[in-house]
Amino acid sequence: MRKIFMAAAIYLMAVSCGTAPQAPEQNVANDKNEVIETILSRRSIRAYKDQAVPKELLDQVLECGVYAANAINAQQWEVRVVMSEEWINSATAAAKEAAKGTPTEAQFNDPSFKNLFRNAPAVIFIGHKPGAYTPVDCGLMAGNIMLAAKSLGLGTVCMASPVRTFLLTEAGASHLTSLGFSEGYEPLICIGIGYPDEEPAAKPRNMEVIKYVE
């Protein structure tokens, strides 16, 4: 009886090994990678639908931002999110008034212009504790935010101008205060975010800047 059981076991193992499915060969060139697809298809959006972004989506996007790489994991950044149309319109009006007679006034006369933040219905401000590496950290955070937004069907545009030419000037002082950054922190960049109302084509990229060092 024992010999029968042993024979049966050997037979089952042989059959099992003989019929095991073979792993398909991987063709890196043909397999689609969702992360790479998202990176290559992301564009800066300057036209948005009149549709608010649900806070649940913003929470996901911002979590991805906080998980960005940063120097020694110091996380010397802060994020402020503005969804208030009143705040955005008020900031736009103040910036427009301050820009009178300057080269930046031209942007306010553009027929497609709606607000200071490239027409976005919401704005994410990224602030930092000024240091040698924190601008890089904030750039990495912004990259995560924009890619996460793209993956969720949202559009973004990263900007420094509204911060440099408005928030950090006398004209934007009250709006800066309202953002409530901690002492020692200041805004560095901002990201307009919303549902895109355009699909701009990719601009040419110069791949010749890449060199392999032997």
Burial letters 63-90, b for 16+ CB under 10 A, else e? ebbeebebeeeeebbbbbbbeeeeebee
- Helices (H), ranges, 21-100: 34-41, 55-66, 85-99
- Regions of the chain short of the pLDDT cut 70: 1-30
pLDDT at 31: 77
CB 159 within 8 A of CB 190: yes
How confident is the model at residue 30, as a pLDDT? Answer: 55
**Domains in the chain, ordered, with CATH?**
48-194 (3.40.109.10)
Q: What is the pLDDT of residue 122?
A: 98
**Cβ–Cβ < 8 Å for 112, 46:** yes
